[in-house]
Amino acid sequence: MPTVGLLYPGHSAEDDFPALEDRIAGAVRLPVVITSVGEDAHRVDALLDLGSNTRLADGAAQLAPQKPDAVMWACTSGSFVFGMEGAAEQVSAVAAAAGVPASSTSFAFVDALRHLGIRKVAIAASYPDDVAQHFVGFLSDGGVTVVSMGSHGIVTAAEVGTLEPSQVVAMVTAADHPDAEAVLVPDTAMHTLAIIEELEAAVGKPVLTANQVTVWKGLELLGPVPALPGLGALFGGAR
C-alpha cells in the first residue's frame, strides 16, 4: 500500500486525512506529522516563517519512522507565498530531508488542473485578499487564468477548521463564475474531503480543494493515481 506522508501545520483540519484513510481502507496510508507554527495567521510574514526549511526539515525527521513513499507539504498559503521559484526550492529541501519525492499543495493545484485540462478557474478563498492574491499570482505563473475570486478575510487556520459543511458549500457556490471550468478551495485548514461530491453537485463542475489535491499529488508522485470513490472528478468521478 502506498504511503503518502503529510507535513501539516498546526491544528485545524488534520483529521480530514485519517478520516479519508478509513473510508478508502487499503488504498493509501496518510500519516500526518504536525509541523511547528510560530503564529497562526494568514499574513505573509507569518506564512513565510510557517514554511521555513527548518520547520519542514524537523517535520520530515518526525515522519521518517512512517517510511513514506512520498511526502507532501500540506499547506497552500505556506507554499505559494514563496512564489513559484521559492516554492520549488522549498519542496526540493523537503525531498532532500525526507529522502523521497516531495511536493506541496500549491504545486498540486497547478498539476491537478493540468491533468484535467482546465485553464480557467474561480477561487473560493478563506484568506484575506492580500494573501489570496499571492495564490492568484502563483496560478498565473502556472498557466492558469483566474476569472473570479471570493476572499473571506479569515485570519487564522483554527477558525477555518471550524467551518460547517454548509458554510463551505455556500462559499464555493458564491465564488463560482460562468466562465470558470472549476472552483478551487485553497486552504488545507478547511474540512473538505467528505464533501467533494456535494461541492461539485452544487456548482455542476469540478471542485478542487486543498486537501483533495494534496492526496492526489502525493499519489501522482508515485505513478498513476487510482480512482477513489467520493473524491470527485479529479479522482475519476463523473465529469
Query: What pLDDT score does 125 carry?
Result: 87
Cα pseudo-dihedral 213, 214, 220, 221, rounded to 10 = 150
Distances (CA, A) of 210 to 14, 49, 110, 218: 12, 20, 11, 12
> Do 169 and 204 fall within a single domain?
yes
Between CA 213 and CA 130 the distance in angstroms is 23
- The sheet with strand 145-151 has its strands ordered as 145-151, 120-125, 182-185, 207-209
Query: What pLDDT score does 131 carry?
Result: 87
Angle at alpha carbon of residue 229, lines to 19 and 69, rounded to 5°: 65
What is the SS3 assignment for 56?
helix
Query: What pLDDT score does 79 carry?
Result: 93
> Do 112 and 150 fall within a single domain?
yes
For residue range 20-53, list pLDDT tens digits in order.
Answer: 999 998 899 999 999 988 777 677 778 877 789 9
> Do 86 and 203 fall within a single domain?
no
Contact 47, 104 (CB under 8 A): no
Between CA 150 and CA 187 the distance in angstroms is 13
> Do 222 and 202 fall within a single domain?
no
pTM above 0.75, yes or no: yes
Contact 153, 164 (CB under 8 A): no
Containing structural domain, residue 194: 108-209
| CATH code for the domain in which residue 20 is found | 3.40.50.12500
Count of residues making up the chain: 239
Cα pseudo-dihedral 186, 189, 194, 200, rounded to 10 = -20
Between CA 52 and CA 54 the distance in angstroms is 5
Report the number of distinct structural domains present in the chain.
Answer: 2
| Residue spans of the chain under pLDDT 70 | 41, 151-162, 237-239
> Do 166 and 148 fall within a single domain?
yes
- The three three-digit cell numbers of residue 180, written as one number: 470558470
Contact 92, 117 (CB under 8 A): no
